[in-house]
Amino acid sequence: MSHATNEVMIEIKNLKKAFGEHVVLKDISLQVNKGSVVAMIGPSGSGKSTLLRCINLLTVPEHGSIRVGAQDFTFGSKASKPLKDRELAKFRTNTGMVFQHFNLFPHMTALENVMEGMLTVLRKPKAEARAYALELLQKVGLSDRADIYPQRLSGGQKQRVAIARALAMRPGVMLFDEATSALDPELVGEVLNVIRSLAADGMTMILVTHEIAFAREVADQVIFMRDGVVVEAGPPSQVIDNPQEAATQSFLSRFN
Ligand code: ADP
Ligand code: MG
């Protein structure tokens, strides 16, 4: 069941990003409603990761505007203000990002990994951070692994710790960049289950994924990108089951 509301949570207008001469995002505009799940699909090199990174300003676009919740940034016009570090840090805590490679702190236990941002960025008291971290580890099914170091966790467990760590910042939006692509096939399901439960909680999410069946199941909106352009966007029943564009049809035929 979809939890999408009519409130726009993410609004991107006319986004452009180039690396040198190479234009990677060409005038991207999109909206994500609060509580909805967007699946972004497309061939390698189409700009999916760059778009996700722009949404939390890990990558700064040359042109366009990005609004997440109440915060917005405009780039490339005379009206745009320079980015302030504090604004940027605040903006980033609102967009939890989960990567293909988990990037856990190796010298910290699962629990300490989840607590870290609450202590250093949110400056929460230790007892409060610990209590919420334990709650989140329970949510991702890892209560019994709290004191284990990443080296002794499976890939699926590491990725679930990474999700709990992102959730610890109480983000309004979660961004997943191929969160299951590096996992052994038998470990994919446990991570998808966590994403499924977040969708059921009404978390606003953008998932870059090659799991087409999962996208069909959880997404309210599917975006097909190619060469820095949104070729086709709409509900899964349209984009996945009845694609109109030849490029979308050709891409999807690889998964059948
Ligand atoms: P996708 O995630 O869809 O595979 P990316 O967003 O990673 O696509 O990449 C889109 C294009 O941008 C690719 O051609 C890639 O080589 C290029 N690119 C991405 N990041 C950088 C970077 N930091 N510097 C130069 N080129 C980059
Ligand atoms: Mg990518």
Ligand 1 pocket, CB under 6 A? 19, 24, 42, 44-50
Nearest CA to ligand 1 atom 24: 19
pLDDT of 61 > 70? The answer is yes
Plot region of 173 (φ>0 → left; ψ -120 to 50 → alpha; else → beta): beta
Which ligand ends up closest to the CA of 41?
A: 1
CA atoms in the 13 A half-sphere facing the CB of 61? 33
pLDDT of 1 > 70? The answer is no
| CB 61, CB 72: distance < 8 Å | no
pLDDT in tens, 207-230: 999 999 999 999 999 999 999 999
Residues 25 and 193: their CA atoms lie apart, in Å, by 31
Residues 3 and 179: their CA atoms lie apart, in Å, by 22
Average pLDDT of the chain?
A: 95
Q: What is residue 102's predicted lDDT score, i.e. its pLDDT?
A: 79
pLDDT of 202 > 70? The answer is yes
Where does the pLDDT of residue 248 fall: very low under 50, low under 70, confident under 90, or very high at 90 and above? very high
What is the percent of the chain with per-residue pLDDT over 90, rounded to a whole number?
88
| CB 65, CB 59: distance < 8 Å | no
Q: What is residue 233's predicted lDDT score, i.e. its pLDDT?
A: 97
**Ligand 1 center to residue 124 CA distance, Å?**
36
Q: What is residue 146's predicted lDDT score, i.e. its pLDDT?
A: 98
From the list 80, 103, 245, 231, the residue with the least C-alpha distance to 166 is 103
**Ligand 2 center to residue 43 CA distance, Å?**
9
pLDDT of 48 > 70? The answer is yes
Give the max Cα distance, the chain. Answer: 55
**Who has greater pLDDT, 2 or 142?**
142
Tokens of 93: 């805590």
Secondary structure (H, E, C), 46-113: CCHHHHHHHHCCCCCCCEEEEEECCEEEEECCCCCCCCCHHHHHHHHHCEEEECCCCCCCCCCCHHHH
pLDDT in tens, 96-130: 999 999 789 999 999 999 999 999 999 999 999 99
**Interval 144-161 mean pLDDT:** 97
Tokens of 30: 């999109």
Q: What is residue 255's predicted lDDT score, i.e. its pLDDT?
A: 86
Q: What is residue 79's predicted lDDT score, i.e. its pLDDT?
A: 64
Could you tell me how far CA 165 lies from the centroid of its own chain?
A: 13
Tokens of 51: 């778009």
Provide the whole-model pTM: 0.95
**Ligand 1 center to residue 24 CA distance, Å?**
7
